[in-house]
Amino acid sequence: MDTRDVATAYFDAWQTRDPDRFRALLADDVTWQGPTWRAGNADECVAAFQRASSVVTRVDIQHLWADGADAVTWFQMHKETDPPTPVANWTHVENGVVTRVRTTLDLLPPTSAPAEHNVQRAPAIIDRVRHTPSRR
């Protein structure tokens, strides 16, 4: 499988909530890093996948770019109780498996307030996220 195929299969495993298929796409020493959580191996990634699968109802891929060993996927993450969250996922693939994932997502809660209000609120919200204990 090439990089695009692996990235597509990665998100297909999310859509079908298939931890075995997800695990088969990961190198044993894969690293995953997001704004508030990190994983240092495949077992930690699968555990996080299983926790996330209990709250994420679907992911809608907006676009997937592949260049050599890297793929960036822009998608909307849906949960039962919240509006969709935009997410960017950078996946590095070697020898047909994912070796590194870097993810960004909007940590600010949805609001109908003017954008300048959100900018003013951002430091306090980000500080609160930083000091919230990890749920690993």
Q: Tell me the whole-structure pTM to 2 decimals.
A: 0.76
Residue 36: the pLDDT is 78
Q: Quick one: three-class SS letters along 17-53?
A: CCHHHHHHCEEEEEEEECCCCEECCHHHHHHHHHHHH
Domain ranges of the chain: 3-105, 107-136
Percent of the chain beyond pLDDT 70?
Answer: 77
CATH number, span 3-105: 3.10.450.50
Q: In this model, does residue 126 exceed pLDDT 50?
A: no
Give the range among 5-14, 44-53, 88-97 with minimum mean pLDDT: 44-53
**Cα-flanking dihedrals φ and ψ of residue 88, to 5°?**
-115, 135
Per-residue pLDDT reduced to its tens digit, 27-67: 999 999 988 788 999 999 999 888 888 888 899 999 999 99
Maximum mean pLDDT: which of 22-31, 43-52, 98-107, 119-128: 22-31
